[in-house]
Amino acid sequence: MSELINRLIARIDNAATLTEDPPPVRLRKTLLIFLNAAGIFIVPWGAQYLSGEGMQVPAAIALGYSLLSAVALAHLLRTKRTSIASGLQLVGLLLSPFIIQWTMGGFEASGVVVLWSLLAPLCALVFLGARMAVWWFGAYALLVLIAAVRDITYGATQQQVLLYCENVLLVSSLAFIVLRFFVAERDKAQSALEREQERSESLLLNILPSPIAQRLKSGNQTIADGYAETTILFADLVGFTRMSTTVSPEQLVALLNRLFSRFDELSSRFGVEKIKTIGDAYMACAGVPVARPDHAEAIADMALAMRDTVQEHNREFGSNLQIRIGINTGPVVAGVIGLKKFIYDLWGDTVNLASRMESNGVPNRVQASAATWERLRDHYDFESRGTLDVKGIGLVEAYLLIGKKLEMTSSTRLSSE
Helix (H, G, I), strand (E, B) or coil at 157: coil
The confidence score (pLDDT) of residue 415 equals: 45
CA distance 184 to 189: 9
Determine how many CB atoms are found less than 10 A away from the CB of residue 330.
19
**In 271-348, alpha helices (H):** 295-317
Domains and CATH numbers, the chain: 2-204 (no CATH), 218-416 (3.30.70.1230)
Question: Nearest Cα to 220, choosing from 334, 336, 332?
Answer: 336
The confidence score (pLDDT) of residue 4 equals: 62
The residues of the chain scoring below 50 in pLDDT are: 410-417
Written as one string, the DSSP assignment of 173-185 is HHHHHHHHHHHHH
Sign of CA dihedral 127, 131, 132, 136: positive
CA distance 376 to 221: 37
pLDDT in tens, 229-238: 999 999 999 8
The confidence score (pLDDT) of residue 58 equals: 81
Based on its alpha-carbon atoms, the radius of gyration of the chain, rounded to whole angstroms, reads: 36
69 near 36, Cβ under 8 Å? yes
**Partners of 368 in the beta sheet?**
327, 399
Question: What value does the mean pLDDT of the chain take?
Answer: 85
Question: Nearest Cα to 76, choosing from 64, 63, 88, 66?
Answer: 88
The confidence score (pLDDT) of residue 25 equals: 82
C-alpha distances in Å from residue 304, one per residue of 2, 8, 233, 397, 403: 65, 61, 11, 20, 7
pLDDT in tens, 270-304: 999 999 988 889 999 999 998 999 999 999 999 99
Evaluate if pTM is beyond 0.75: no
The confidence score (pLDDT) of residue 195 equals: 83
